[in-house]
Chains A and B, each alone.
Chain A
Amino acid sequence: MIQVQNLSKSYNGTTVLKIDSLEIPKGQSFGLVGNNGAGKTTFFSLLLDLIQPSTGHIINNEVQVNTSENWKPFTASFLDESFLIGYLTPEEYFYFIGDLRGQNKADIDALLAKHEEFFNGEILKNKKYLRDLSKGNQKKVGIIATLIGNPEVIILDEPFANLDPTTVSRLKKIIKELAENPNVTVLVSSHDLQHTVEVCSRIVALNKGEVVKDIQTSAETLQELEMFFAV
């Protein structure tokens, strides 16, 4: 599904990301772990063509992302609050994304009903604009919005950060469900090794912009990663 070739990104001579080759097959749930500055967000931004690669390129479902816009219809992402429109209510935001992804109101309502538990009664019909929601609640909106229109690639940057413990376990359930779908490729980044190991079938660890571990998740994975990141 996603092929990375000779990808690197440098700012003023400092290389912040360098991935010679990486292949993410269709249907995989892919976890990206690493310390601050390891290059996780940089990688996702490159994948979404928000920044330009210094060398190499990424191919998303046979579309080279920095030359064509055709990856947009099947890719959904939530990186940070800049993916939310502050002056809309959550409902309006969902319908807006739905319109862009060719979904009608009923489709969206069905999706929202399905995730009512995840929202915990704090999102819908609350007479608040997105800008007035707490960080955690904003994140809930952003995450569910990526599910609109059955995208084939879902990219979530730090989805577990800022969420309360109950929501984290609900989110894990949602991501596991997505992972079971052979048509959906999920990419998740996190600082939290345990959460990532739980939901992803493959973990890649980045350190200073380079891939230092690439493992299929097994019973020993968490221990192995903890060993690696311990000083």
Chain B
Amino acid sequence: MILKFLYLEWKAFTRSASFGTNLALKIILGFVSVLYTGIFLMAGIGAFYGLQQMHLDPLQEVNKYLIYYFLLDLGIRLLLQKIPVMNIRPLLSLPFTRPTIVNFSIGKTMLSFFNFLHVFFFLPFSIVLLVEGYDVLSVMLWHLAMAALVYSNNFLNIILTNKDNVFTIFLAAVVIIAGFQYYHYFNITDYTSVFFDGLFHTRWMFLFPVLALLGLYYYTFTYLKINLYLDAGLSTKHEIAKTEDLTWLNQFGTLGTFLKNDIKLIKRNKRSRTTVVMSILFLFYGFIFFRENSGQPEIMRIFAGIFVSGGFLFTFGQFVPSWDSSYYPLMMSQNISYKGYLSSKWWLIVIATFISTILSSFYLIYGWQVYLTIVVGAIYNIGVNSHLVLLGGAFTKTPIDLQSTKGAFGDKKAFNTSAMLLSLPKLLLPILLYWAGSSILNFNLGLAFVAIAGVLGFAFRDKVFSKIEKIYKTEKYKTIDAYKQKS
């Protein structure tokens, strides 16, 4: 039975339209995975001796911060770990039992890299503990408890992904807890470290996480099983629709028509909504780099400058024209010229970048220099990156399923690892320019270089646009064909 599922999975993987690009991305992802595996491995082995040298009790110290380790893990999972999507509908009427279908879905998540990664930390750490003469049974039970917690996070991710706004609430909670600890109001580790220490010292306490894991598994299992009906988890929620005219946009002519449409696109589809919320988080990215004593190299400031105003560009713009994939043939046969279509998307990106730049004026508390970096980043985003994003779009042939009819089983994660990887090239050039300028004279020249690149891009806009338009035209037929395939 399982073999049949695996057969379907393999076919789905090799026959998807985006197989080529996916494979390239998967190879890059493979490298990233190996890198992180290495880091975790080093941490697992090194943590004990490192902490010992600092005259701290390694186990106690690790236990103290495990709460943040697991919270961070959950956060990263909520953001990046995909819930495996299976094409479940056609399976329902076939002779598969429902529990088999659910268990296979769950099983797929358990094989995720996000679970195995932790083995590379906990296994060497536990081995070092054994080598250093800690009690064998205690170490084993502690290790078992850790594994149970890792998998609990796996299930929490499945359960929470199907709830709205969880990530935002989660992030807020973590920030508040960490903030309280940082300013010594309330130290959560005082309480949680007792628990984690207990897992080691008290023989029966490992039962807590194991039972929690079993409970979560059972909950996930019943949740998914209940939802395995066409009118439950596999259905679309019918929202009550309200017609909106947005007449104030009429004054912009054709551009207004498209903007109206894009605003509705963003408002009415969960996937695009999450994307925009993500782009707001980008605004605060600068706090990592612009803080005094941030310990970050000066060169990285331009990186932050570009990120702060470019949130929308990176999260939404990256997927133009995939947002329109479900009705692409309409766009291609309606009374729309390619130029009009592209420039409306371009304007949307420009407007969003502009608004982000205004909103980020709170960085002025760090001084003019910092805000200038952000403004220069915005100029570069408008002049160069907006075009790069559209250019990349011509080759992005992954349809976006806005309607997501799969309900509880659907993939709703808007911001994924591949999106992040795609944004890297857009950051390298400005960093190079900034570096060149600042090594010739000073950081201001670096900023000037980046700004000039942006202004040049803006000046040659028409030229660049007609080039991009040509590429879209030649790619048009392939794109229409690829969008016909539903994931």
Residue positions of A touching B, CB distance < 8 A: 48-52, 69, 72-73, 75, 77, 79-80, 82-89, 91-92, 95-97, 99-102, 126-129, 131-132, 149
Contact = CB atoms under 8 A, between A and B. Distances in A.
A84 B334 CA distance: 11
Residues of A contacting B: mostly: loop
B467 to A, nearest CB: 17
A50 B330 CA distance: 10
B403 A89 contact: no
Given A129-B239, A132-B236, A69 B337 contact: yes
Contact of A50 (B326, B335, B480): B480
A87 B236 contact: no
Nearest to A44: B333
Contact of B326 (A69, A82, A95, A126): A82
B260 to A, nearest CB: 7
B264 A87 contact: yes
B117 interface: no
B402 A86 contact: yes
B329 A88 contact: no
B36 to A, nearest CB: 37
A84 B333 contact: no
26 contacts: A48-B329, A48-B332, A50-B480, A51-B480, A51-B481, A72-B333, A72-B334, A72-B337, A82-B483, A83-B329, A84-B327, A85-B261, A86-B327, A87-B264, A87-B402, A89-B241, A89-B243, A96-B261, A97-B334, A99-B254, A100-B254, A102-B335, A129-B239, A129-B241, A132-B236, A132-B239
B465 interface: no
B268 interface: yes
Given A127-B242, A131-B403, A83 B264 contact: no
Nearest to A87: B268
A86 B242 CA distance: 14
Contact of A72 (B241, B261, B335): B335
Residues of B contacting A: mostly: helix
A119 B330 CA distance: 21
Most buried by A among B242, B243, B483: B243
B327 A85 contact: yes
A80 B333 CA distance: 12
Nearest to B332: A50
Interface string B235-276: 010111111110000000010010011001100110000000
A183 to B, nearest CB: 17
B433 to A, nearest CB: 38
A87 B236 CA distance: 12
Most buried by A among B241, B254, B336: B241
B106 to A, nearest CB: 29
A100 B333 contact: no
Contacts of A100: 254, 257, 334-336
A69 B477 contact: no
Contacts of B242: 89, 127
A96 B262 CA distance: 12
B260 A128 contact: no
A72 B329 CA distance: 13
A75 B336 contact: no
Contact of A127 (B241, B245, B269): B241
A136 B344 CA distance: 32
A96 B335 contact: no
Given A51-B481, A82-B327, A82-B484, 6 more contacts: A50-B332, A50-B480, A75-B333, A82-B326, A83-B329, A128-B238
B121 interface: no
B236 A101 contact: no
Nearest to B483: A82
A73 B335 contact: yes
A132 B237 CA distance: 9
